[in-house]
Structure 1
Amino acid sequence: MNLRHIHLLLTLHVCFSNAATSESYEETLQLTPLPDGKVSARFAFKTLASTNIEENQDSDDRPQHYKLFPLALGQLLRAQSISELHLSLNAGKWDYDKWGYPIDQSVASGAELWVWMSESSSNGTSVDQRWKDLSNGLAGLFCASLGALDETRTTKPQWAFGPEGDLLSSRSYHLRHAFLPSESVCTENLTPFLKLLPCKGKSGLSSLLNPHPLFGSNWHGIGVHVRPLAHESMELTMTFGAVLDPVRLSRGKRDWNFDDIFGRPIGRACPVASRSLIKVVLPAHAAYQIAPEPTTVDKDGATYDLTMLSFPLTIGMSWPQEERFQHSIASPSNPLSARRIITGGSQSRGDILFHFINNQNVSQDVVCVETAPWFVNYFLNTRRVVVNGIDREDIILETAYTLPRNHQPSLLETVLRLPAHSVTEMSMSFLKSFIAYTQHPPDAERGWDLPAAAISFTLTDSHPQEPARRLYTRNLLIDLPTPDFSMPYNVIIMSSTVIALFFGSVFNLLTRRFVWVKTRATDIVRD
């Protein structure tokens, strides 16, 4: 078989693949200068396949043919009958007060996984078993500790985390949600992430994903989102976000370019991308310069089309009138902000406080989702709600509380109606359980991680089809009653010392021979 025959076979294979499954791939990079001098970079790699994610889930006989959609992920979703999946791995703390609301809402530190899965499956396994198999499969696919998302961390929220795709009305679905706040993000997660992309990080926007500058940013995260769409199609969106600090890199100025914040330019465009765009949000009240000349400029900012530019490509923005960047103390006012703290220094009891600020002219309904490990028990009878210094229990519309049983986490969902221009505080007490010394982690003195609370809400001016927004509080540490782990080591050291001295003395007496040594008179030295 010569090269001509091989080329013909490859052409026929591509033609049949295109006929079987129509897929498209596009990539977008959005760069947003922030008020504190930092730059938010958000990569989005979107793959659209004509094959429905729920097509023939009741049968494993139908083969799967993908051209651009990652086969490893598609096989896992089909094997576990997953209809919609959302996975995020984040490190750092997203500052809502300085950076505003992010495009990707799942920005809590650690790992978060929530899925909608069909009640029936081809292999006849239960929903809980398929959830376990899915977390283990994703752990191997992304080289993360997602296998720890077992029944001790899994919850079933009722009013938050609604489906973002077009689920079939003829099927029954179940929601599973889990947090792993101690999980971090590193190069081991970025490498398999790049392997799932069509260009593998060799060309296009994915070539800018350089681990060294990205993992040194103030916040960075990986996201994988799969959802079904109408007309029997599915959408995969793989995202990578980072908040970079050019002021720290340039020692005082907020000027940036690709060589500074990413460490490299774009060498060439991704050949399989139908659209490859770079969007730069332009400042509204500052004199700036951007180079090279954008392809288009509109009210949303400057847009670069990689299909119309020359390579290597590096984009930069500078503020020529600024000799040194002066950070403004004033921060953007978000419509809604929330934070959470723990008070009390006791190792057996404590109080948790939620702080909500509604800056809108109308009231705002929010759903507060609080997930706690099984050793934290909330007392709802101690819950108190204060609005602008006045007790207001009437703003609580709904409450759902799942008790922590059989080492399963507790789930507290509260629906609140926050008045306009109000400061609301909700507090309650909780009890810390005693756990066995074998259940403590190796770094027991550090404390236990309490996952971030999710605040779900829908703004009054949002689009009717827009999904509910979510903002997350920061992770917290709980100090549990911890035994003195140093005592066993002291006992071991002392026992080992006594045994060594006893054994050495006895062994010395049993093996040494005591004999008389005769000496000559000349060997005695006299003074």
Structure 2
Amino acid sequence: MHRASVWICLACLFTPTLGLYRGENYKEDLRIQPLRDGRVSTTFSFVTVLEGAVPRNPKVLGQPDESQHYALFPLTLGQILREYAITELHLTLNAGKWNYDNWGHPPEAGVSTGAELWAWMGTSELSTVDERWSGLRNALSGLFCASLGSLDSRRTTSPTVAFPLSGSTPPFGLHELRHASLPSENVCTENLTPFLKLLPCKSHAGLAALLNPQKVFDADWHGMAIHVIWKEDVGVELKLTLQAVFNPVRTSAGKRRDWNLQSLFDRSIERSCPVASSSSVTVIIPEEKNHQITPKIPAHVDGLAVYDFSSSSNFTSPSNIAMYWPNEHSFQYPLPPLLSLTPLSVKRTIHGTTQTRGVLSVSVTNNSPQEVSAGYLEMMPALLTLWMHTLKVEINSQIRSDLLSGLKYHPPSPQSSGRLSPSMLQAVLTIPPKSTLKISMEVNKAFLKYTEHPPDAMRGWDLPGAVFFPLPQSTNDASSGHGWERIYTPPLLVDLPTPDFSMPYNVIILSCTLMTLIFGSVFNLLTRKWVVVEIQE
């Protein structure tokens, strides 16, 4: 730790030499927003840009690649991107449930529970997209210490409409999408440590010094994401984000919603990252006027309080940004009913009285006064079979088939590995204003071999959440006005037909007992000798 501090001090002395990092730019930002339920949303954003860089053409994978010399861009991730010719990459690791109604849309749309990975790759005759997808999953699994290797063909789909290219399309060949999710993946310190190693200053300086794992993983919701996007006029952009929703009311003794950097992260910003071109903390000022913020700034521009922590600013000592409500004795939670902060509210359940059949129900509420059109995507593993002839769309207990269009369904298909691919259901929903649309369909639950069940078979199986997304080039006033992105429903826990795993144990015990009795009796008969022993008086 002392050695790292010495190197950072030396780097600060040579701050004017930032011109040596030609073609690379790094900036960081922290966004803090007090929420109406007393919680505090924090979003860290670390962006590194390789100016003028172009993704590798997959048609030249057999040829030697150009040398990779990075000063700010992480070499470990850059080698993976070049090895498998990745044009665009998105990886998210989240824990918890994002509350859209009370927290609004997140700054980063990817808030699905567990792990979600999707990538765009160009086609090539030298190496197929599926082969490179397998190598990418295993490489990222080792880099971030996550179970991404489990995202095999049983969980991989290609929903191109819901997950389009975020950047530009390279001129070489066609591109294909691969998407997979693992809702049962847990997020822990083993994932945060390699995440921080991708930053130029690691966690020794800059805003990343606030990332205390004991505090971050104690939040009500937390997640990290890695985005690699190619923009034609900019280059390759790497964006690392970490989101967390803290609850100061729960952790404070007086049940107050006051917060500061020290109370949220148990750390403060002691030094700036010398290679960051910009480093700022942005606090979104709440609409209510009975609050105070320190340090005070001359003016709040557009409801934002911006603090500059870059090395070029006057930042020289530790700073602790704080917001408090002096006239509030204790925080009073707002009483329902509360207006939703998002145009759509979604609920999704699966119910049934048996382990073989059930009903999947989805309820979508349009909170806006305008009609909303949204895409609906279900990606179900082969554990469940959707019976499309039972699909019903209802509003106020009246069947409205005209509100569902563009229905596409891909049933599970056998793969070369002998496994079944997941099913994919995609449709366009039209929700009238101030109404609730209900979708229901019957499902069948698969019978698995006893060797295919996980160790905790009685717990059940996690199913990925459904995705609602705005339609491309949508002219809907509600969607364009709110600027909403993808909405993820929480995952479902389904109870499949499970064998009684205690029976093999009982059979083994009974068999061993019988074998012991039989073997012991036969062994005694064969080896014991009967002799007459005379006992003298």
Tell me if both proteins adopt one fold, taking TM over 0.5 as the criterion: yes
Of 380-389 and 164-173, the range deviating more from structure 2: 164-173
One-letter identity of the residue aligned with 2:497: P
Number of the residue aligned with 2:251: 249
- 1:309/1:463 CA distance change after superposition, 3 Å: farther
For residue 491 of structure 1, report the CA deviation from its aligned partner.
1.0
Q: How many corresponding residue pairs?
A: 506
One-letter identity of the residue aligned with 1:448: W
SS, match of residue 245 in structure 2 = strand
For residue 270 of structure 1, report the CA deviation from its aligned partner.
0.8
CA distance in structure 2 between the aligned counterparts of 1:101 and 1:265, rounded to whole angstroms: 28
Of 184-193 and 343-352, the range deviating more from structure 2: 343-352
1:301 paired residue among 296, 301, 304: 304
Q: Deviations over 1:403-461 (max 9, x none)?
A: 11221100101111112222100111111121211111111111111101111015745
One-letter identity of the residue aligned with 1:30: R
For residue 344 of structure 1, report the CA deviation from its aligned partner.
0.9
Number of the residue aligned with 1:4: none
- 1:69/1:295 CA distance change after superposition, 3 Å: farther
1:195 aligns with 2:203: no
In 2, are the aligned partners of 1:348 and 1:433 still within 8 Å (CA)?
A: yes
1:322 paired residue among 321, 328, 334: 328
CA distance in structure 1 between the aligned counterparts of 2:489 and 2:424, rounded to whole angstroms: 16
- 1:393/1:461 CA distance change after superposition, 3 Å: closer
Number of the residue aligned with 2:7: none
Number of the residue aligned with 1:179: 181
CA distance in structure 2 between the aligned counterparts of 1:389 and 1:189, rounded to whole angstroms: 46
Number of the residue aligned with 1:366: 374
CA distance in structure 2 between the aligned counterparts of 1:275 and 1:479, rounded to whole angstroms: 50
CA distance in structure 1 between the aligned counterparts of 2:380 and 2:145, rounded to whole angstroms: 26
Number of the residue aligned with 1:336: 344
CA distance in structure 1 between the aligned counterparts of 2:33 and 2:21, rounded to whole angstroms: 37
Number of the residue aligned with 2:101: 97
1:350 aligns with 2:358: yes
For residue 168 of structure 1, report the CA deviation from its aligned partner.
2.7
Number of the residue aligned with 1:88: 92
* Structure 1: segments with no counterpart, 5+ residues: 1-6, 522-527
For residue 271 of structure 1, report the CA deviation from its aligned partner.
0.8
In 1, are the aligned partners of 2:120 and 2:175 still within 8 Å (CA)?
A: yes
One-letter identity of the residue aligned with 1:495: S
CA distance in structure 2 between the aligned counterparts of 1:372 and 1:192, rounded to whole angstroms: 31
1:456 aligns with 2:464: no
CA distance in structure 1 between the aligned counterparts of 2:366 and 2:526, rounded to whole angstroms: 84
Q: Deviations over 1:51-80 (max 9, x none)?
A: 424255535331122221111111111211
For residue 513 of structure 1, report the CA deviation from its aligned partner.
7.9
Work out the percentage of aligned pairs sharing the same amino acid: 46
CA distance in structure 1 between the aligned counterparts of 2:149 and 2:137, rounded to whole angstroms: 5
In 1, are the aligned partners of 2:291 and 2:323 still within 8 Å (CA)?
A: yes
User: Equivalent residues in 2 for 1:59-208 (5 A)?
Assistant: 59-120=63-124, 124-168=126-170, 171-208=173-210
1:484 aligns with 2:500: yes
* Structure 2: segments with no counterpart, 5+ residues: 1-9, 415-419
CA distance in structure 2 between the aligned counterparts of 1:191 and 1:289, rounded to whole angstroms: 35
One-letter identity of the residue aligned with 1:424: L
CA distance in structure 2 between the aligned counterparts of 1:345 and 1:322, rounded to whole angstroms: 49
In 1, are the aligned partners of 2:229 and 2:237 still within 8 Å (CA)?
A: yes
One-letter identity of the residue aligned with 1:36: D
CA distance in structure 2 between the aligned counterparts of 1:15 and 1:253, rounded to whole angstroms: 44
- 1:285/1:413 CA distance change after superposition, 3 Å: same
Number of the residue aligned with 2:444: 431
In 1, are the aligned partners of 2:343 and 2:478 still within 8 Å (CA)?
A: no
SS, match of residue 272 in structure 1 = coil
- 1:164/1:449 CA distance change after superposition, 3 Å: same
Number of the residue aligned with 2:276: 273
- 1:237/1:158 CA distance change after superposition, 3 Å: closer
Q: Which has the larger radius of gyration?
A: 1
- 1:315/1:508 CA distance change after superposition, 3 Å: farther
- 1:500/1:267 CA distance change after superposition, 3 Å: farther
1:404 aligns with 2:412: yes
Normalising by structure 2, we get a TM-score of 0.89
Number of the residue aligned with 1:211: 213
CA distance in structure 2 between the aligned counterparts of 1:506 and 1:280, rounded to whole angstroms: 83
1:260 aligns with 2:263: yes
